[in-house]
Amino acid sequence: MTTMTRHEIVAERAESLLARMSLAQKLGQMIMSERMATTPDDVRDFHLGSVLSGGGSAPGANAVGDWVAMNDAYWTASMSEANGRLPIPLLYAVDAVHGHANVLGATVFPHNIGLGCARDPELVERTARVMAKEVLATGVDWTFAPTLAVAQNIHWGRTYESFSEDPAVVASYAAGYVRGVQHDLGTDGVIACAKHWVGDGGTTAGNDQGDTAISEEELERTHMSPYYPALEAGLLTVMASFNSWNGDKCHGHRYLLTDVLKGRLGFDGLVVSDWDGVDYLHEDYGTAIGMAVNAGMDVFMVSLEWKRCLELLQQQVEAGIVPMSRIDDAVRRILSVKLRFGLFEKPRPADRSWSNSDSFGSAAHREIAREAVRKSLVLLKNEDALLPLSRAARILVAGKSAHNRGHQCGGFTVAWQGETTNEAIVGGTSIWEGIQALAPMAALDEHGTSADPALHDVAIVVIGEKPYAEGMGDLRLGGRVEKGSHNPAKPHNLAPYGKTIELAQLHPEDLALITAIAAKGIPVVTVFVGGRPLVVNAELDASQAFVAAWLPGSEGQGVADVLLGDYPFHGTLSFAWPQSAAPSYKDEAPRFARGYGITTG
């Protein structure tokens, strides 16, 4: 009697389910609708396979219990057997991309650009593990992480979601991140989703969702290679990318989605579209849907028009444009992911062992985030070994991001575009709160007007960018820009953050503050909070010490730990730091090369 392998058991169970499913049930599994447009009755009546929260889309008061209750209602509806309905449990998905940061009180980790500077895959696996536990606490099954973008141009508003401009650094984190998130795919893991396939970080001029105009050799070497270790680690889902490759949208790219990813690389999980990403393939929605599914799209992420998507998908099948064999392949993949995740064996969300866990946002979780903050900091300048500071020093703490947990966290935190206050980030510490806890003679004065060399030995000035996400973080010379949409009705361009990579142009208030304090003879330690390197020559020259803190997340105390000498500077740049703001800045020698960082440990 030969025993079947786990893979064979899954395949057999998927086949058995498939054989019992109606066309409506099969097509329903291919829809991932947004919660704001979806009721539990919709899940039951249309056999929806998954529901998501877009950035900032939260139930009730956005507390853990509200999330568990919401997921319990959707799951229960998906298991209805009314009128002989076939119960297939629903998956709920969210962007937990630096902790489960949508949810109030979550542990918010440094965004990937900071983790990339730590050069510590074991640490990143631990952060992913903690994030998965906080996702499980809310009854959520699936996170759209890791981002494996290899950002090539810091004009891109999603640079901070990229671990590095070096594919080898990104690849070094990929497997551990997937293991940390998916774990044993039993009760202690959630489904990971590597994104965005493929070439999202390589668009011309860093235009979000733009065109990646490079050779296949460059696409493979720079943008595909980090996926290999993720696939090896058992990655279950991949998200298609908004960008085009040499003019052809990835969402409709059969060669990239099917021939390469599923064929050559043997990916046997499912491919999910990005947010309404199919809409940009063609001005006729039905045609666009047919193009996407025939290219290899398995799940359609649809914000509002999911009923129309379902209807048009059925029409495409009935018209013979989409063969039933492709539908069966997509549904087989979806069922296989659910079976490999153990979803059919899980109890309802409210009864799962991790739901409502007290570990959510716990001190133990925050300690791991604090360690990640410490290791992500990069010391770029330290004249006369000013750092570390003495705890007894009379420290003036100034700057718009000195006491602002919202600024520290950046985008994809509570709101899609992030938050700009302390109150919006429940739990954690601002950089000021961390300094205050260690240095009794420190004083906060955001505008630095009280700066006085008779009162202050040194100033810590925390400056940089305000939160943003996706295209709203782009720095574009030409303002709004067309994004390769083949659907004139949906040009989909977002107002950019600014037009230049020079900080003094984007935020002149920062240089003004640094120079005003330094002019009084007080040495300045500048701490940069932002999502990417920016041209900061004037700010560097006016500072005696300069630290890149990136987007450290909720645990600002990790910055204080290092500034005040409890821990050494460890981080090294995962992106070269630009010398000039010219569009061709990458052709010039950088101010600091990738790998640079003054380490003190």
* 182 versus 430: smaller Cβ distance to ligand GLC: 182
Calculate the CA 441 to chain-centre distance: 38
Q: For ligand GLC, which residue of 42, 274, 555, 561 counts as binding (CB under 6 A)?
A: 274
Tell me which of 470, 474, 502, 555 is the catalytic residue: 470
Amino acid, res. 291 = M
Question: Within 78-107, which residues bind ligand GLC (CB under 6 A)?
Answer: 95
User: Rounded to the nearest whole angstrom, what is the least distance from the CB of residue 274 to ligand GLC in the complex?
Assistant: 5
* 120 versus 134: smaller Cβ distance to ligand GLC: 134
Other beta carbons less than 10 A from residue 346's beta carbon:
17
User: Rounded to the nearest whole angstrom, what is the least distance from the CB of residue 55 to ligand GLC in the complex?
Assistant: 5
| Packing angle of the helix pair 167-182, 121-137 (nearest 10 deg) | 40
* C-alpha angle 204-410-596 in degrees, rounded to nearest 5: 65
Q: For ligand GLC, which residue of 11, 54, 65, 126 counts as binding (CB under 6 A)?
A: 54
| Whole-number Å distance between alpha carbons of 26 and 9 | 20
Instruction: Read off the tokens for 100.
Output: 């489960």
Q: For ligand GLC, which residue of 55, 286, 406, 571 counts as binding (CB under 6 A)?
A: 55
- Sequence-distant (≥ 6) Cβ neighbours of residue 308 within 8 angstroms: 285
Give one word for 160, left, alpha or beta, with left for phi > 0 and alpha for psi -120 to 50.
alpha
Calculate the CA 537 to chain-centre distance: 29
Query: In 347-415, which residue ranges form alpha helices assigned H by DSSP?
Result: 363-376, 405-409
Binding of ligand GLC by 539 (CB under 6 A): no
Q: For ligand GLC, which residue of 67, 142, 177, 275 counts as binding (CB under 6 A)?
A: 275
Binding of ligand GLC by 144 (CB under 6 A): yes
Tell me which of 42, 166, 274, 279 is the catalytic residue: 274
* 141 versus 470: smaller Cβ distance to ligand GLC: 470
User: Rounded to the nearest whole angstrom, what is the least distance from the CB of residue 62 to ligand GLC in the complex?
Assistant: 16
User: Rounded to the nearest whole angstrom, what is the least distance from the CB of residue 195 to ligand GLC in the complex?
Assistant: 6
* 201 versus 523: smaller Cβ distance to ligand GLC: 201
470 counts as catalytic: yes
274 counts as catalytic: yes
Q: Return the bridge partners of 413, or none.
A: 415
Strand 270-272, strand 91-94: pairing:
unpaired
Total residues binding ligand GLC (CB under 6 A): 8
Q: What three-state secondary structure class fits 92?
A: strand
Instruction: Read off the tokens for 32.
Output: 């991932």
User: Rounded to the nearest whole angstrom, what is the least distance from the CB of residue 511 to ligand GLC in the complex?
Assistant: 33
User: Rounded to the nearest whole angstrom, what is the least distance from the CB of residue 276 to ligand GLC in the complex?
Assistant: 8
Question: Within 233-272, which residues bind ligand GLC (CB under 6 A)?
Answer: none
Other beta carbons less than 10 A from residue 600's beta carbon:
15
The 280-309 contact track toward ligand GLC, x by CB under 6 A, reads ------------------------------
Look-up: residue for tokens 């302390």? 422
- Contact present, 97 and 147 (Cβ < 8 Å): yes
The 496-525 contact track toward ligand GLC, x by CB under 6 A, reads ------------------------------
Going edge to edge, which strands form the sheet with 237-240? Answer: 193-197, 237-240, 270-272
Q: Which residues are catalytic?
A: 274, 470
Residues that bind ligand GLC (CB under 6 A): 54-55, 95, 144, 195, 274-275, 470
